[in-house]
Amino acid sequence: MKYVVRRLWQFVPTLAGVVLLVFFLFNWVGGDPAYILAGKIANPELIENIRRSLGVDQPYWVQLWIFVRQVATGDFGVSWATNERVSQIFATRLGPSLTVLLPLLITSTLLAMAAAMLVAYWRGSLTDRAIMIGCTVGQSISILVYILVFQYVLAYQLGWFPVQGWGGTLGENLLRYGALPVLVGVVVALAPDIRLYRSFFLDEINQDYVRTARAKGLAEGRVMWLHVLRNAAIPIATNVMIQIPGLLAGAFLIERFFSIPGIGREVILAVERSDFPVIKAVTIYVAIATMIINLAADLLYKALDPRVELE
Amino acid sequence: MAGAPAADPSKVLRITFQAAETGFDPVRVSDYYSGTVISGIFDPLLTYDYLARPAKVVPNTAAGLPEITDQGRIYRIRVKPGIHFADDPVFKGAKRELTAADYAYSLRRFLEPKNASPYAFLFEGIAGIETPDRYTIVIRLKNPDFNFSHVLAFPLGGAVAREAIERYGDESAARPVGTGPFRLKRYVRSSKIVLEANPGFREVLRDGRRLPLIGGVEISVMEETQSRWLAFQRGDTDMEYQLSEVATAFMTADGQLKEEFAKRGIRLERSVDPEIIYLYFNMQDKTVGGLAREKIALRRAVAMAFKAEDMIRIIRKGQSIRAHYPVPPGVAGHDPEYRSSIPYDPRGANALLDKFGYRKGADGYRRLPNGDPLALRFSSTPTERDRQYDELMKRSLDAIGIRLEIHKDRFPELIKLENQCRLMMRIAAWIADYPDGDNFMQLLYGPNSQQSNNACYRSPEYDKRYEKSRLLPHGPERDQLYREMARIMETDTAWLLIDSRYRNVLL
């Protein structure tokens, strides 16, 4: 408990760093939103009027204080581009993002674990080498290529999936519109995950306790599935969890190509429009999610391996 | 004709937007996509006969065209009685009739500072609005303007109901309530917009058939070209007009639809957008600006070295036509016979520079007549298209021995610098807000510097004619003034007109 409280306190300076970084980066390299919102003919009076209404005519320290207050209250106001409440934007975009990301993460993790355990078990064999070469090649191809090819071949040519779209019900989105985006995501994630998880399994296979288990005459299946998998699961769980916040905001290519109204697409829109309230909110949310997930991963370590001491 | 059948609910038009809309409150938007939806939901007083060329202003919810008095200062319009807003909870079950007060309220909203409307500039000429009776609106202008009818036909100038705007506040962008042919049925921001025919829409007939002909419109936002192209080919959408990147896949070099697509029942309709794309010089810049003879010669030489045909052939892949006149085709005031007096002639450009003392130094690049180094700064955004502009500009200036510096910045920053008259050269575009030449000729009017006049051009001769043109309706007298203004601009070489892009609509 003491550990958790201490870690929660550490959130404060970390968040302060994120706030300062986002604020100065936006004001340094971000475009002036008034010139986007002013439309085709922007007279100085209109520009000033917009700047005033957005609050960007205030001194920097006032703007920074407003930002800090927004982080403290969780209320980031309204989008500068659409006047929609930022909280509403995230509330409505989170569902579609998770509809794709959760099946993607679960499927890719299970498949990558199974494949990694197999190739680790057959280390040095032809199968191991072939899969590793395949992974290296697969990893070196851009996600954009996977999207373009899969969309063209599987959706357009073969008609197995819709080319793009998003429906009104969870079932329809999960089974119909989400299937191809999930497939693309799984294929993209498999190559690096198999390579990484293989190394986790190899670390464990070479441990003394595995030799001991085998010497005791335990069946290979029991050694691998019970002992090796349990220990390798710790770094795998960490890896999966720290991917989640990044994937939420980073899945914009999949969301754009398949017309999924998710958070990643919204983030890109916000950047294109210099929509600072949305940019601020997504950065803070991702930072908080990352910190919470890191903490959860540490607690998970303890749950998976009682020998781990949290200090 | 009262028995003409209503919209067929089984017919739904499925189209796409290549960029997300921002909302449907008419005073708060400036993007094309939001405007497209708004034009289906709200009704301006006047509209256009879109099949006429140039498009002609006709009454919409007005009983007739405006009665213009006081030498173009007063517009009196009568709203047709019996038009109602689409049903909405805000009206508590009652029918809400459209009145002159709704238009007075809607037009005033553009000028309210709290709305910071991007289109406030169109309505700034209004001095006052009165509604002497329930159906009559009188608009008093600050200055005579015989073209104000175009502003009254502006699609975003449709009537909103005060009670809806006050009730929904910031949510008005997602809760549009108008009198137009459609109403919003389903809205997933930045993703899906579903419109359905407004069952209470007044009787409007075209060729004996009641509008709207279809039961709804389903709009999907698809940012990626491949997604739009494949969706169209699969029959997921009914119409596509944003496929310039893949135009060669379905069109022959002479602009015809390839046979394989025609066989599948696909049609191609091609038109030139009411837009101009032009290279401008900042007339206040100390290197390229001003009306001194050697400065005009420098600008003229750059314009003569710029191969607009390469822009069309290589960058646009043949999907545009050469622009000669500041008013593009389809817009009132366009002159199809007019030809630019600035030829493509790099040899002549070199001779011109030699004549005015821009001598080449040891490094092969020209210097200013006083011997100082000469480098021209071309501004563009960090996009693939603008990188091609950079290359074309580099090739053009290399041909006349002028050193080029490329200035890269994001679009809003370029606009900011442009409004402060701090860019030297840029390729800009302007698409019609309304199909009248005034919307284009104002781009070179001196007092519009730091606003729409991005060349910061100030010519007393041009301005005098422009002010006179504003007092004239579209006609031969105004056309003559426009021709003279175009020649004045060319003589000073504030711009080089480049092209206007085709719109290829696949159906």
Task: Give the tens place of pLDDT for each residue, A259-286.
Answer: 999 999 998 888 888 888 999 898 898 8
Close Cβ partners of B236 (under 8 Å, ≥ 6 residues apart): A162, A163, A164, A165, B14
Residue B1 has pLDDT above 50, yes or no: no
Nearest CA among B502, B245, B500 for reference residue B383: B245
Determine, for residues A32 and B412 on separate chains, whether the beta-carbon distance falls below 8 Å.
yes
Nearest CA among B165, B198, B4 for reference residue B84: B198
Distance from CA of B53 to the nearest CA of A (A): 25
Residue B355: predicted pLDDT: 97
Q: B223 — contact with chain A (CB < 8 Å)? A: yes
- Say which residue, B474 or B464, is predicted with more confidence: B464
Determine, for residues B173 and A156 on separate chains, whether the beta-carbon distance falls below 8 Å.
no
Report the alpha-carbon distance of residue B299 to residue B496 in Å, rounded: 9
Residue B317 has pLDDT above 90, yes or no: no
Q: Closest to A31 (Cβ–Cβ): which among B189, B231, B412? A: B412
Q: Tell how many helices (H) and how many strands (E) occur in chain B.
A: 16, 19
Q: Provide the mean pLDDT of chain A.
A: 88
Nearest CA in chain A to B24: A82
Distance from CA of A206 to the nearest CA of B (A): 48
Copy the structure tokens of residue A241: 């969890």
- pLDDT bracket for residue B4 (50, 70, 90): low
Sign of CA dihedral B282, B283, B285, B288: positive
Q: Is B205 left (phi over 0), alpha (psi -120 to 50) or beta?
A: beta
Residue A240: predicted pLDDT: 87
Asked if residues A56 and A63 have their Cβ atoms less than 8 Å apart, the reply is: yes
- pLDDT bracket for residue B485 (50, 70, 90): very high
Residue B11 has pLDDT above 50, yes or no: yes
Nearest CA in chain A to B114: A53
Q: Closest to B416 (Cβ–Cβ): which among A32, A92, A159? A: A32
Q: Residue B501's beta-bridge partner residues?
A: B320
- In the predicted model, what is the mean pLDDT of residues B483-498? 97
- In the predicted model, what is the mean pLDDT of residues B94-122? 93
Which residues in B lie closer than 8 A to residue A82 (C-beta atoms)? 22-23, 173, 189
DSSP A155: I
Asked if residues A262 and A178 have their Cβ atoms less than 8 Å apart, the reply is: no
Contacts with A, B 8-37, CB within 8 Å = 20, 22-23, 25, 28, 30
Strand bridging mode B209-210 / B192-197: unpaired
Which residues in A lie closer than 8 A to residue B234 (C-beta atoms)? 156, 159, 163
Q: Is the peptide bond before B54 cis (omega within 30 degrees of 0)?
A: yes
Determine, for residues B230 and A85 on separate chains, whether the beta-carbon distance falls below 8 Å.
no
Least confident of A229-233, B228-232, B361-365: A229-233
- In the predicted model, what is the mean pLDDT of residues A249-264? 89
Report the alpha-carbon distance of residue B150 to residue B122 in Å, rounded: 10
Asked if residues B485 and B441 have their Cβ atoms less than 8 Å apart, the reply is: yes
Task: Give the tens place of pLDDT for each residue, B33-79.
Answer: 999 999 999 999 999 987 887 778 999 999 999 999 998 999 999 99
Residue A213 has pLDDT above 60, yes or no: yes
Q: Distance of CA B99 to CAs A194, B3, B102, B154, Å?
A: 68, 26, 5, 18
Q: Residue B276's beta-bridge partner residues?
A: B430
Determine, for residues B114 and A43 on separate chains, whether the beta-carbon distance falls below 8 Å.
no
Length of chain B: 507
Determine, for residues A49 and B116 on separate chains, whether the beta-carbon distance falls below 8 Å.
yes
- pLDDT bracket for residue B3 (50, 70, 90): low
| Mutation target vs B (from A56, A93, A164; most B CBs, 10 A cutoff) | A164
Asked if residues A282 and A267 have their Cβ atoms less than 8 Å apart, the reply is: yes
Task: Give the tens place of pLDDT for each residue, B424-468.
Answer: 999 999 999 889 999 999 999 999 988 889 999 999 999 999 999
Kind plus residue range of the DSSP H or E element containing B350: helix B346-355
Determine, for residues A92 and B173 on separate chains, whether the beta-carbon distance falls below 8 Å.
no
Q: A76 — contact with chain B (CB < 8 Å)? A: no
Rg of the Cα trace of chain B?
Answer: 25
The 3-state DSSP composition of chain A as helix, strand, coil percent (nearest 5) reads: 80, 0, 20
Q: Closest to B419 (Cβ–Cβ): which among A42, A260, A261? A: A42
Q: Residue B206's beta-bridge partner residues?
A: B209
Other beta carbons within 10 angstroms of residue B318's beta carbon come to 16
Q: Which long-range contacts (CB under 8 A, 24 or more apart) does B226-231 make?
A: B226/A148, B226/A151, B226/A152, B226/A257, B227/A151, B227/A163, B227/A164, B227/A257, B227/A258, B227/A259, B228/B16, B228/B18, B230/A151, B230/A152, B230/A155, B230/A156, B230/A163, B230/A164, B231/A163, B231/A164, B231/A165, B231/B16
Other beta carbons within 10 angstroms of residue B221's beta carbon come to 22
Other beta carbons within 10 angstroms of residue B87's beta carbon come to 16
Phi, psi of A171 (to 5 degrees): -60, -45
Report the alpha-carbon distance of residue A255 to residue A266 in Å, rounded: 9
Distance from CA of B442 to the nearest CA of A (A): 11
Residue A311 has pLDDT above 70, yes or no: no
Q: Closest to A41 (Cβ–Cβ): which among B20, B221, B451? A: B451
Residue B298 has pLDDT above 90, yes or no: yes
Task: Give the tens place of pLDDT for each residue, A2-59.
Answer: 888 888 888 889 999 999 998 888 887 766 788 878 877 777 888 888 888 888 888 8
Which residues in A lie closer than 8 A to residue B451 (C-beta atoms)? 41-43
Task: Give the tens place of pLDDT for each residue, B327-358.
Answer: 999 899 999 999 999 999 999 999 999 999 99
Least confident of A70-74, A190-194, B179-183, B214-218: A70-74
Rg of the Cα trace of chain A?
Answer: 24
Which residues in B lie closer than 8 A to residue A260 (C-beta atoms)? 191
Determine, for residues B227 and A259 on separate chains, whether the beta-carbon distance falls below 8 Å.
yes
3-class secondary structure, B205? strand
Copy the structure tokens of residue A154: 């599987």
Contacts with B, A 5-64, CB within 8 Å = 31-33, 35-44, 46-47, 49-50, 53
Asked if residues A262 and A97 have their Cβ atoms less than 8 Å apart, the reply is: yes
Asked if residues A263 and A94 have their Cβ atoms less than 8 Å apart, the reply is: yes
Task: Give the tens place of pLDDT for each residue, A65-106.
Answer: 988 998 889 898 889 888 889 999 989 999 999 999 999 999
Residue B184 has pLDDT above 70, yes or no: yes
Residue B2 has pLDDT above 60, yes or no: no
Residue A163 has pLDDT above 70, yes or no: yes
Report the alpha-carbon distance of residue B56 to residue B201 in Å, rounded: 23
Report the alpha-carbon distance of residue A9 to residue B23 in Å, rounded: 41
- In the predicted model, what is the mean pLDDT of residues B153-170? 95
Q: Closest to B413 (Cβ–Cβ): which among A31, A156, A162? A: A31
- In the predicted model, what is the mean pLDDT of residues B285-306? 97
How many CA atoms lie within 13 Å of B51's alpha carbon, on the beta-carbon side? 2
Which residues in B lie closer than 8 A to residue A257 (C-beta atoms)? 224, 226-227
Length of chain A: 311
Which residues in B lie closer than 8 A to residue A43 (C-beta atoms)? 121, 450-451
Determine, for residues A32 and B20 on separate chains, whether the beta-carbon distance falls below 8 Å.
no
Least confident of A123-127, B79-83, B265-269, B479-483: A123-127
Strand bridging mode B8-17 / B205-206: unpaired
Determine, for residues B419 and A46 on separate chains, whether the beta-carbon distance falls below 8 Å.
no
Task: Give the tens place of pLDDT for each residue, B127-154.
Answer: 999 999 999 999 999 999 888 999 999 9
Which residues in A lie closer than 8 A to residue B416 (C-beta atoms)? 32, 35
Report the alpha-carbon distance of residue A6 to residue A12 in Å, rounded: 11
Q: Residue B141's beta-bridge partner residues?
A: B126
How many CA atoms lie within 13 Å of A156's alpha carbon, on the beta-carbon side? 17
Q: Provide the mean pLDDT of chain B.
A: 93
Distance from CA of B438 to the nearest CA of A (A): 14
Nearest CA in chain A to B22: A82
